[in-house]
């Protein structure tokens, strides 16, 4: 049984569009997957960018099958920059069958020109992929070696 490919990748961002009052923006990315087996899934936060002061507050939440499994809150641009750069969040083992993964991003800002965004990837555990590929390579080698038998005449 081979591991599923990357389930999702994308970006989320929000930029202030007001004139001095505090505004809250919410973005949500919903993914559904049918997994042939049990895999350890991760959300990888790849990189980020910001404009102006960034934000007043930020919340990032991950729900798996409707249950909140992770929440991150901050009002610090520096903390957000570190968190959203090459950060792996383990969602745990998702059983075979249907799963839904929801990424929910909420940004509150009040300064003209402020904004924050990040990129993400949702994948099964990399070491699981490596072990499966090594196993399949070994089976392929044995199969290829066994088919090279020559008849002695």
Report the number of distinct structural domains present in the chain: 1
Domain interval for residue 101: 8-146
Q: Is residue 151 part of a domain?
A: no
Q: Is 11 helix (H, G, I), strand (E, B) or coil?
A: strand
User: Quick one: pLDDT at residue 127?
Assistant: 56
Position 32 in a domain: yes
In a domain, 79, yes or no: yes
pLDDT of residue 5: 59
Whole-model pTM: value is: 0.77
Task: Determine the pLDDT at residue 63.
Answer: 96
Predicted local confidence at residue 123, as pLDDT = 87
Which helix (DSSP H) or strand (DSSP E) does residue 141 occupy? helix 126-146
Which pLDDT score is estimated for 134? 57
Domain contains 152: no
Burial class (CB in 10 A: 0-12, 13-18, 19+), 39: buried
Residue 2 maps to a domain: no
Residues of the chain with pLDDT under 50: 1, 3, 129, 147, 150
- DSSP, residue by residue, 28-97: EEEEEEEESS-EEEEEEEEEEEEETT--SEEEEEEEETTEEEEEEEES-HHHHHHHTSSEEEEEEEE-SE
In a domain, 81, yes or no: yes
> Is residue 37 one of the residues assigned to a domain?
yes
């Amino acid at each position: 049984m081979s591991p599923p490919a990357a389930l999702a990748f994308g970006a989320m961002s929000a930029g202030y569009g007001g004139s001095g009052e505090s505004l809250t923006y919410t973005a949500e990315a919903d993914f559904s997957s049918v997994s042939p087996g049990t895999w350890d899934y991760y959300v990888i936060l790849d990189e980020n960018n910001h404009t102006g002061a960034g934000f007043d507050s930020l919340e990032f939440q991950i729900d798996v099958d409707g249950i909140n499994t992770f929440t991150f809150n901050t009002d610090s641009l520096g903390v957000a920059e570190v968190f959203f750069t090459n950060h792996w969040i383990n969602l745990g083992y998702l059983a075979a069958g249907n799963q839904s993964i929801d990424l929910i991003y909420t940004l509150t800002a009040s300064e003209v020109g402020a904004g924050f965004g990040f990129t993400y990837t949702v994948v099964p555990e990399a070491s699981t992929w490596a072990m499966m590929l090594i196993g399949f390579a070994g089976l392929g080698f044995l199969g290829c070696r066994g088919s090279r038998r020559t008849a002695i005449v």
